[in-house]
Amino acid sequence: MISNLPDRIFLCGFMGAGKSVIGRKLAKVLEVSFLDLDNKIEVQTGQSIPEIFGESGESTFRVAERRALLEVIRAFDGVVSLGGGSLQNQHMVDHVKLNGLLIFIETPISVILDRISQDENRPLLLDEQGNPKSRKQLKNELTTLYEERLPLYEQAVIQIHNDGNKSVEDIVEKLLKKIRNHVEYY
């Protein structure tokens, strides 16, 4: 067990980076609770993420996401998997970092594209008619979005690379070493 572990560990990164899978395993090893922010939003709103996007748009989803994140910061201890766009601005990054340990799971866009390109539960993958976007269009749009969010992700205290070739166990083991080093140093 790690002494001086922060009450909350937030995992950030782009969609498909592996935040939820890694987060669940990390929480299990640390013997703490795990929460996926997207699941919390679905429970609070009574709608799936695609339904929120489809019926009310991204801005309504982001308001619900911010509300859910602030509630998690107030009332949850454990590992939290953030949505890819949860760190909407500098204020949210600062607030998360003040209230827990922020970890960035850096995953190449090529790996992300392979993981998510067939997932119809991801609203950003569909065009305005609800049809899947072409792989080329998707790659261009995701690359642009990733580059916009990267400066916020990179403010994480700990970064770990997920190239898609390592097992979840290997990534969590490396992450535990980084967390241990961080909490012992600070």
Q: Round to whole Å and give the CA distance between 52 and 82.
A: 17
Give a yes or no: residue 2 inside a domain: no
Q: What is the pLDDT of residues 139-163, one digit of tens each?
A: 898 899 999 999 999 999 999 999 9
Residue with tokens 């969010």: 149
Beta carbons of 100 and 33 less than 8 angstroms apart:
no
Return the H-helix or E-strand segment holding 11.
strand 8-12
Give a yes or no: residue 79 inside a domain: yes
Kindly tell me if the per-residue pLDDT of 123 is higher than 70: no
Average pLDDT score, the chain = 91
Q: How far is CA 153 from the centre of its chain?
A: 10
Kindly tell me if the per-residue pLDDT of 100 is higher than 90: yes
Residue with tokens 């090529």: 110
Q: Does residue 185 sit in helix, strand or coil?
A: helix
CATH number for the domain harbouring residue 103: 3.40.50.300
Domain containing 85 equals: 8-185
Give a yes or no: residue 126 inside a domain: yes
Taking residues 5-30, what's their average pLDDT? 96
Taking residues 121-133, what's their average pLDDT? 72
Encoded tokens for 126? 């569909």
Give a yes or no: residue 22 inside a domain: yes
Taking residues 77-81, what's their average pLDDT? 98
Give a yes or no: residue 46 inside a domain: yes
Q: What is the pLDDT of residue 118?
A: 65
Give ∠ CA 48-9-31 in degrees, rounded to 5.
95
Kindly tell me if the per-residue pLDDT of 122 is higher than 90: no
Q: Provide the domain count of the chain.
A: 1
Give a yes or no: residue 92 inside a domain: yes
Give a yes or no: residue 3 inside a domain: no
> What's the pTM?
0.92
Give a yes or no: residue 1 inside a domain: no
Distances in Å between the alpha carbon of 179 and those of 33, 86, 124?
A: 17, 22, 32
Name the residue among 65, 68, 76 with its Cα closest to residue 99.
76
Read off the pLDDT band of 88 (50, 70, 90).
Answer: confident
Residue type, 125: L
Kindly tell me if the per-residue pLDDT of 180 is higher than 70: yes
